[in-house]
Amino acid sequence: MMDWTLSIAILIGGLLFSMGIGLPVALGFFVINVIGVFLFMGGARGIDQMIANATLAVSTYSLAPVPLFLVMGSLFFHSGLARRVLDAIDVLIGRLPARLSYLTVTSGTVFAALSGSSLANTGMLGTLMVPEMMKRGYKKHMAIGPILGSGGLAVIIPPSTLAVLFGSLAQIDIGGLLVAGLLPGLILACLYALLIFVQAKVDPEAAPTYDYEPLPVSLRIKVFCRDILPMAVIILAVVGSILTGFATPTESGALGIVAVALLALIFKALDMEAITTAIADAARVTGMTFLLITASSTFAQLWPSRAPLRAWSAGPPRWRWGRPKPFWSWRSSCWFSACSWTRSR
Amino acid sequence: MPLFLRLLDWTSLMLFRLACLLVAAIVVVVTYDVTSRNLGLPTAVWAVNSVEYAMLYITFLCLPHLVLTKGHVCVEVLLTYLPKGLRRIWENALQIVSALICFYLTWHTASSFFRVLADGSYEVRSFDAPMWAVYLSMPIGFGIGGLQFLSFFARNDSFFGAPPDAHAGM
């Protein structure tokens, strides 16, 4: 029987090695799965079991929000609604030092709540904002920093595709997890804005002020009511429906698509090209993500087969080289034991 | 472009379009499911399981097209530091290894497919799905995906070094 430390070294080390040499991540997982199955699950018979498990990994209804949120986000970007929101926020922000950085953070936060895809969010902000900020003489950290920060907010703020994946894999309440991300996401956005404020104070040259004629307040209110306020329908359809218990996360994804499609229709921005592009984008990202889930969930099933974590947590402390066991090692053993005990309850 | 490459690309594209149709079908089915439940219309008992099987098919039907469009995620840190000549050799080796993995998985998934086809087993959920239908997309996806990895040699191209938007789904 192979020592658990060796099995961990083979599984984790092999995975890191296959990724490190540049093998596509999903295929790297499959390689280690095959090796692991041969070592720990009885060879060729284990491969059949691995394939059977792979079919179950993604045929789980809890993963259904993933393609739905992706279609919703992609339709939001490709129909031109995102551009409309960005232009409206641009008008609303007015004259401020580092206004384009603030615009990026505000738009990123709003897009996060309306799309759920951090990739699309970051891509859109990067494409639209970086050339403009560079043209205005912004330093790189003031241009790219807000994009990377606020682009990633879609991972936290609902509807987060990543939260759905995590909730499904960890088998925890996806609706609760989605809603739990709302406040931390907003706090992060505020902290980004605070950081921009401090940076602009410390180094005004990092984000040079430029001439900007703000619109009258009445016109700004009109822009807000026309271009921003209607987007609340999408947030209501997705987050509101989960919060009130009207819909499950999967159903909220479908409601979100309907809301985006209706808004795009009202703004005369819905055409066949936007729909087909949105679906193709969603299919591409879903295919890529689900293959990773298929491979990684099979990888995860190799662990209980050798019970390395259980051995790690429950096994008696051993120090192979005969030196006294350090305090941090004892603490981590206790922590793992506690986790193991809690999970087994 | 040689005929076999055109045929391979066409097949990959058709499989991808089928996956797109399945994504659209998921949207329609889930929307109908939530609407019918809330409006008291006849509910689709098959909706949940259909969506589950559709997601399985999407995973493997997209695989060849994602290889063709360099859409699978990989860590390219090592590749970026390799000298040009060595990088080319390294990439070629990785493409061969990737193709071999795909073919190995094709072999085993096809074996599973033919075994369940022969014994006529069913998967029992809200409706009975023949097991061969559950396994069908896997050998197709892995098989054509493996061929796509090899096709980069014929195209004098590489799977690696794709622009970021190839992975971003934009």
Name which residue leads in pLDDT, A341 or B142.
Answer: B142
Alpha-carbon distance B111 to nearest alpha carbon in chain A (angstroms): 9
Count of CB pairs separated by less than 8 Å, A with B: 180
Alpha-carbon distance A7 to nearest alpha carbon in chain B (angstroms): 22
A144 inside 8 A of chain B by CB: no
* Cβ contacts of B163 within 8 Å, gap of 6 or more: none
Structure tokens at A329: 């090692």
The answer to whether A76 touches A188, Cβ cutoff 8 Å, is no
A338 inside 8 A of chain B by CB: no
* pLDDT score of A272: 92
How far is it between the farthest Cα atoms of chain A?
A: 77
Alpha-carbon distance B2 to nearest alpha carbon in chain A (angstroms): 26
C-alpha span between A305 and A315 (Å, rounded) = 16
- A22 neighbourhood in chain B, CB within 8 Å: 74-76, 78-79, 90-91, 94, 160
Best CA proximity match to B66, nearest among A290, A44, A19: A290
Report the share of chain B in percent with pLDDT over 90. Answer: 61
**What secondary structure does DSSP assign to chain B, as a single string?**
--HHHHHHHHHHHHHHHHHHHHHHHHHHHHHHHHHHHHHTPPP-TTHHHHHHHHHHHHHHHSHHHHHHTT-S-B--HHHHHS-HHHHHHHHHHHHHHHHHHHHHHHHHHHHHHHHHHHHT-EEESSSEEEHHHHHTHHHHHHHHHHHHHHHHHHHT--SSS--THHHHT-
User: What is the 3-state composition of chain A as percent helix, strand, coil, each rounded to the nearest 5?
Assistant: 80, 0, 20
* pLDDT score of B115: 92
pTM for the predicted model, two decimal places: 0.83
* pLDDT score of B167: 59
C-alpha span between A79 and A278 (Å, rounded) = 9
- A74 neighbourhood in chain B, CB within 8 Å: 169
CA of A155: how far to CAs of A284, B41, B80, B169, in Å? 19, 36, 28, 16
| Main-chain phi, psi angles of A223, to 5 degrees | -65, -40
Mutation site for B-interface testing, chosen from A63, A288, A296 by largest number of B Cβ within 10 Å: A288
Give alpha helix (H) positions in A94-181. Answer: 99-115, 118-135, 140-151, 161-170, 174-180
C-alpha span between B149 and B142 (Å, rounded) = 10
Q: How large is the C-alpha radius of gyration of chain B?
A: 19
* pLDDT score of A308: 54
C-alpha span between B159 and B148 (Å, rounded) = 9
* pLDDT score of B165: 62
* DSSP summary character for residue A326: P
Within 10 angstroms of residue A229's Cβ, the number of other Cβ atoms is 11
CA of A110: how far to CAs of A103, A121, A222, B61, in Å? 11, 10, 18, 33
Within 10 angstroms of residue B110's Cβ, the number of other Cβ atoms is 17
| Main-chain phi, psi angles of A318, to 5 degrees | -125, 135
Alpha-carbon distance B8 to nearest alpha carbon in chain A (angstroms): 18
* Contact at CB, A21 and B63, closer than 8 angstroms: no
A32 inside 8 A of chain B by CB: no
C-alpha span between A207 and A140 (Å, rounded) = 9
Whether the bond between A159 and the residue before it is cis, its omega within 30 degrees of 0, is yes
* Contact at CB, A258 and B69, closer than 8 angstroms: no
* pLDDT score of A20: 92
The answer to whether A195 touches A151, Cβ cutoff 8 Å, is no
Long-range contacts, A182-185 (Cβ 8 Å, 24+): A182/A157, A182/A158, A182/A239, A184/A156, A185/A109, A185/A112, A185/A153, A185/A156, A185/A157
Confidence check: pLDDT of B40 > 90: no
Amino acid identity for residue B113 in this structure: F
- A278 neighbourhood in chain B, CB within 8 Å: none
Within 10 angstroms of residue A96's Cβ, the number of other Cβ atoms is 17
A123 inside 8 A of chain B by CB: yes
- A67 neighbourhood in chain B, CB within 8 Å: 23, 26-27, 55, 58
Query: Low-confidence residues of chain A, pLDDT below 50?
Result: 319-345
Within 10 angstroms of residue A145's Cβ, the number of other Cβ atoms is 20
C-alpha span between A126 and A128 (Å, rounded) = 6
CA of A240: how far to CAs of A17, A43, A236, A243, in Å? 44, 49, 4, 5
